[in-house]
Amino acid sequence: MYYNTMPLSSYSTPRAILLQPQKTWTGSNSNKYGSRLGHCTEVPRNVNMEGLQSEYLFPEISMREFEHIRKYPDARLIKLGVGDTTQPIPETITSAMAEHVLGLSTVKGYKGYGAEQGNMALRTAIAEKFYKDMGIKGDQIFVSDGAQCDISRLQMLLGSNVTIAVQDPSFPAYVDSSVIVGQAGELQKETGKYRNIIQVQDQSMKFLEPERLQLKFQSFSKFAGFTGVRLGWTVVPEELRYSNGYPVIKDFNRIVCTCFNGASNIAQAGGLACLSPNGYRALSSVINYYMENAKIIVDALQSLGLKAYGGKNAPYAWVHFPGSSSWDVFAEILEKTHILTIPGSGFGPGGEEYIRISAFGRRECILEASKRLQNFCN
Ligand SMILES: Cc1ncc(COP(=O)(O)O)c(C=O)c1O
C-alpha cells in the first residue's frame, strides 16, 4: 500500500514553495530596499503588505531597546514597554502541564491531534467560569493559541469587503491585520488614517457593546502569565448571524479547522488548571500584584501634577505630555532614564502626546522606575 511503502521522511519533510530567481535578474543586489536584498523572484509583493505604515510596533520597540543597550551597555534598563508578564506561573498550574508532558511519554498518556476547537473539558470550564450568566455553553467557546492569532483569523473570516471600526487608541494588530487582508483602503497621508477603518474614541464605542451578541476574543496571556505558553479563546454565540442569516459560528469553525488545527494540548492542560479553584485563587494574587504596581506608577506621576490614567481595569498607565510627539517623549525617557515605555501613537492617532507604561514589571523595577520618572518629570 502507498501508505506503508512511503518512507517516513516523505511525511516529515516540510514542503516549501521554491521562489525562482527572475529570468531578467541582472545580478545587481541593490534597489530601494537596500543592498543586501538577495535574489529577486517573479513573485510580486502583496499590495496589502505595501499598505502597512511601518514595522509592527512591538518589534520596533525591541529594536530601539537593542540600540539603547548597545549605546549604554552598563545602564540598568527597566523594560515597561511591551506588556509582557514577569511573575512566575503558580506551581499548581505548571505541575498540571508537567504531568501532561510526562504523560506524553507513556502509551496511556500520549495524545496527538485533539479537537480543533479545543478540549471540551476546557471549553466547558471557560463557559462556566466567565459566561454562565450569559447562557454561553462550551460548544460556543473556541480555544486558541492567543488573542492576537484569533484577531487575524477574524479578519480572514470577514474578508476584504467590509468597513471596520476600531477603538483609538487600540492594540495595533487590529489595524495591521485589517490592512494585510485588504480591508483598510488607501492610507490618507494628511490624517495617517485608512479610508475604510473608522477609528473611534471611547464613548462612541458603546454602541458596539451589546451584552450577548458579539464575538469575544480573550486570552490566558495576561491573566495567567501565559504570554509564552500561548493560550486564548474566542466566544462565538450560536445565534449570531450574518446579514443573510447564515450562522457566524459555522464559518468560524471552518476557519479554525482549516487554518489553525487546535491549541497545544500541554497549554490546554495548564488552562484547565488555571480555572480550578486553587489555580484561580493563585492567579488572583498575581493579578493583584500587577494592579498594585500600576497604582504605584499612576500615583507617582499624578503626585507631580501630570495627567496619568489607567491602572484600573488593566495594569497600564497612560501619561499625557501635551504638545509633545509621543515618539519624542518615548526617546527622551529612554535616553535620560533608561526606561523603556511605548509611544501612545503606536496604538493609533488618539494615542499621540501619550506614552504607555506597563506595570507588568517586578515590584523593585516599578519602584525604581517611579523614582526615575519622578526625577525626569520634575
Ligand atoms: C488588546 C489586546 N489584544 C490582543 C493581545 C495579544 O494577546 P495574546 O498574547 O493572547 O496573543 C494583547 C496583548 O497585549 C492585547 O493587549
Grade residue 378 by pLDDT with cuts at 50, 70 and 90: confident
- In the reported structure, the alpha carbon of residue 221 is separated from the centroid of ligand 1 by a whole-number distance in angstroms of 7
Check pocket membership of 232 for ligand 1, CB cut-off 6 A: yes
pLDDT for 123-173, tens place per residue? 999 999 999 999 999 999 999 999 999 999 999 999 999 999 999 999 989
Residue 218: per-residue pLDDT: 96
- In the reported structure, the alpha carbon of residue 148 is separated from the centroid of ligand 1 by a whole-number distance in angstroms of 5
Q: What is the CA radius of gyration of the chain?
A: 24
Closest CA to 261 of 115, 100, 110: 115
Residue 206: per-residue pLDDT: 59
pLDDT for 1-53, tens place per residue? 334 444 554 445 455 555 555 544 444 445 555 555 688 899 999 999 999 88
Pocket of ligand 1, candidates 57, 153, 221: which has the most ligand atoms within 8 Å of its Cβ, to mutate? 221
Residue 1: per-residue pLDDT: 36
Check pocket membership of 219 for ligand 1, CB cut-off 6 A: yes
Per-residue three-class SS string for 215-284: CEEEECHHHHCCCCCCCEEEECCCCCECCCCCEHHHHHHHHHHHHCCCCCHHHHHHHHHHCCHHHHHHHH
Buried b (16+ CB within 10 A) or exposed e, 245-265: eeebbeebbebbeeebebbbb
Check pocket membership of 227 for ligand 1, CB cut-off 6 A: yes
Pocket of ligand 1, candidates 167, 171, 264: which has the most ligand atoms within 8 Å of its Cβ, to mutate? 171
Q: Is the pLDDT of residue 182 over 50?
A: yes
pLDDT for 325-366, tens place per residue? 999 999 999 999 999 999 999 998 899 999 999 999 999 999
- In the reported structure, the alpha carbon of residue 57 is separated from the centroid of ligand 1 by a whole-number distance in angstroms of 13
Pocket of ligand 1, candidates 142, 144, 216, 219: which has the most ligand atoms within 8 Å of its Cβ, to mutate? 219
Residue 31: per-residue pLDDT: 56
* Ligand 1 atom showing the smallest separation from residue 232 Cα: 10
Residue 25: per-residue pLDDT: 42
Between residues 35 and 122, the one the model is more confident about:
122
Cα separations (Å) of 171 from 95, 166, 347, 356?
32, 9, 6, 12
- In angstroms, the first-to-last Cα distance of the chain is 78
Residue 27: per-residue pLDDT: 43
pLDDT for 205-257, tens place per residue? 555 555 567 899 999 999 999 999 999 999 999 999 999 999 999 999 999 99
Q: What is the full DSSP assignment across 134-196?
A: GT--GGGEEEES-HHHHHHHHHHHH-SS--EEEESS--HHHHHHHHHTT-S--EETTTTEETT
- In the reported structure, the alpha carbon of residue 147 is separated from the centroid of ligand 1 by a whole-number distance in angstroms of 5
> What's the mean pLDDT in 269-296?
97
Q: Is the pLDDT of residue 94 over 60?
A: yes
**Residue for grid cell 517516513:** 8
Residue 321 and residue 352: Cα distance in Å, rounded? 9
Residue 166: per-residue pLDDT: 92
Residue 171 and residue 187: Cα distance in Å, rounded? 18
Q: Is the pLDDT of residue 287 over 50?
A: yes
The amino acid that residue 83 corresponds to is G
Check pocket membership of 147 for ligand 1, CB cut-off 6 A: yes
- In the reported structure, the alpha carbon of residue 84 is separated from the centroid of ligand 1 by a whole-number distance in angstroms of 10
Check pocket membership of 146 for ligand 1, CB cut-off 6 A: yes
